[in-house]
Amino acid sequence: MKNTPNWTAYIIAAIAAAVVIGLSLQILESNRQVRILNQEIQELRHRITRLVALPLDAAKPSVEQLEVELEGSQARIEDLESQVAKASASFAQAEAESSEAETPPEEEELEPEPEKASLDELREKLSSNAQVSAQLRGLMELAYSELFAGLDLDQETKAALRELLLASQLEQVALARYAMALGDVGYREQHEWTQDERALLAAQLEELLSAEDYAAWEDYERSIDERTLEATFRNQLNAFSSGLTPENHDLVLQIALEEFMAETDALRDSDALYTEAESMLYQLRAMVRMRERLLPLLSEDQYAELDNWLTMGENVIRDALPDDVL
């Protein structure tokens, strides 16, 4: 069974970087919606001003209707701005946490290097982080939505299934963070750790589910990487490349899946060190290949739609990379 070590918005293994990137996209999209609604409000206010100048009896119904629209738009803006503020606070916290270990000691007074966190310490830190748990739960629901819908389980069993899947994803993230902390673990070795964790999950689910339901999970799990990527990319395309025609939407999605899976397969089978930077750089390589393949297949306006999504992702990833990488 092939599994990638990735569970994030742009499928980045380092969970701190994943939180930063996911929040960046949320902030950008929320701010975009705020700008659109602000433009709508300005237009509504201009229309109200013009209508007020008309005879009162003729203008009053339209003015009242526009004022209702105005109040609705203003309420929506307040909600979005609240979301932006919360996301910005979480964004700052995630950035701070991801950079804690990156500050080098002063050259004049070198202090003993602090001991690296143990795997148990990383597990504890991740399991107590509400932001991480929320992001992983959301990704788990996206990845397994069809399975949940297809299995005829009672509520208790379905809840237990969800918790086992979430616990396994948290463990995979902990293993990824631990490999990065050690600094001398290759992708092939880290993938073996992940495989061992997934074998443990399979044993737990075999005890929980009936033979028929377990077989359905096994069949579903064979394509879980593609399903996770597809759900993630579909949401991003809808948000940032909504002008793609249905045919081009499917084409872009298919080529994105092919290029990202090819890059992750090659990396997983290599001895390259499992680092946060490499877990982002491979995505940039996949995006370059997507551009090369899709440029001759899309019209100028359709390529511009694709470029909006890719440029957004490339900028967010480059911003998260250490200064000495690019």
**Are 177 and 14 contacting, i.e. CB atoms less than 8 angstroms apart?**
yes
Tell whether 235 and 323 lie within a shared domain. Answer: yes
Tell whether 242 and 323 lie within a shared domain. Answer: yes
DSSP, res 273:
B
Domain-embedded: residue 59? yes
The boundaries of the domain holding residue 187 are 121-222
Residues (pLDDT < 50) of the chain are 1-21, 98-108, 110, 112-114
Instruction: Please give the pLDDT value at position 61.
Output: 55
Domain-embedded: residue 70? yes
The Cα 268–Cα 186 span in angstroms is 9
Instruction: Please give the pLDDT value at position 66.
Output: 65
CA dihedral (99, 104, 109, 111) positive or negative: positive
**Are 131 and 170 contacting, i.e. CB atoms less than 8 angstroms apart?**
no
Domain-embedded: residue 49? yes
Alpha helices, H only, 183-299: 187-208, 211-221, 224-240, 246-268, 278-294
**Are 15 and 177 contacting, i.e. CB atoms less than 8 angstroms apart?**
yes
The DSSP element (H or E) to which 128 belongs, if any, is: none
Domain-embedded: residue 157? yes
DSSP, res 102:
G
Strands (E) located in the chain: none
Domain count of the fold of the chain: 3
Residue 58's DSSP bridge partners are: none
Last residue of a domain, one of 222, 253, 271: 222
Last residue of a domain, one of 222, 250, 277: 222
Instruction: Please give the pLDDT value at position 41.
Output: 61
The Cα 232–Cα 254 span in angstroms is 13
Domain-embedded: residue 8? no
Instruction: Please give the pLDDT value at position 103.
Output: 44
Last residue of a domain, one of 222, 245, 262: 222
**Are 109 and 68 contacting, i.e. CB atoms less than 8 angstroms apart?**
no
Instruction: Please give the pLDDT value at position 304.
Output: 95
Instruction: Please give the pLDDT value at position 53.
Output: 57
- Give the model confidence (pLDDT) of 209-257 as tens digits: 999 999 999 999 988 888 888 888 888 898 889 999 999 999 999 999 9
The DSSP element (H or E) to which 110 belongs, if any, is: none
CA dihedral (62, 63, 68, 71) positive or negative: positive
Tell whether 204 and 229 lie within a shared domain. Answer: no
The Cα 282–Cα 276 span in angstroms is 11
